[in-house]
Amino acid sequence: GAVVSQHPSRVICKSGTSVKIECRSLDFQATTMFWYRQFPKQSLMLMATSNEGSKATYEQGVEKDKFLINHASLTLSTLTVTSAHPEDSSFYICSAMTGHTGELFFGEGSRLTVL
């Protein structure tokens, strides 16, 4: 079946640095990718919708300058957490959709720890 890969799976960084997380669809083209954030023992919260070749659409309350999303190709979307702070520590999960109304596949998540 279709696979969505996230990299890195775990990352630790110092406060004030920026971290990039990649989300790749390995065997299909994903016009749309979604980025979620999940705090411990909580649900997935949609951060933004990433469409290939256009600007991401951010959910209310998500700072677009803080969480930079780039969807430069049909198989890759990146999330960059800029000037990370400890409160940005979370589990970031992406999902990729085949076409605009197709199947949805989730990545395995990337755990960010900001010291």
Residues of this chain that interact with another protein (CB under 8 A) are: 4, 6, 32, 34, 36, 41-46, 49, 60, 91, 93, 95, 97, 100-104, 106-109, 111
* Closest separation in Å from C-beta 89 to another protein: 14
- Rounded to the nearest angstrom, the gap between the alpha carbon of residue 85 and the centroid of all alpha carbons in its chain is 17
CB nearer another protein, residue 75 or residue 92: 92
Per the structure block, which two tokens stand in for 11? Answer: 């990352």
Minimum distance, C-beta of residue 92 to another protein, in the bound complex (Å) = 10
Structural contact between residues 8 and 109, judged by C-beta atoms closer than 8 angstroms: no
Q: Smaller CB distance to another protein: residue 75 or 95?
A: 95
Q: Which is nearer to another protein, 63 or 108 (CB)?
A: 108
Q: Which is nearer to another protein, 4 or 81 (CB)?
A: 4
Distance in Å, CB of 13 to another protein, minimum: 19
- For the stretch 50-83, what's the b/e string if a residue is b when 16 or more beta carbons lie within 10 angstroms of its beta carbon? bbbeeebebeeebeeeebbbebeeebbbbbebee
- As a whole number of Å, the CA-based R_g of the chain is 13
CB 5 → another protein: shortest distance, Å? Answer: 10
One-character DSSP codes across 76-87: EEEEEE-S--GG
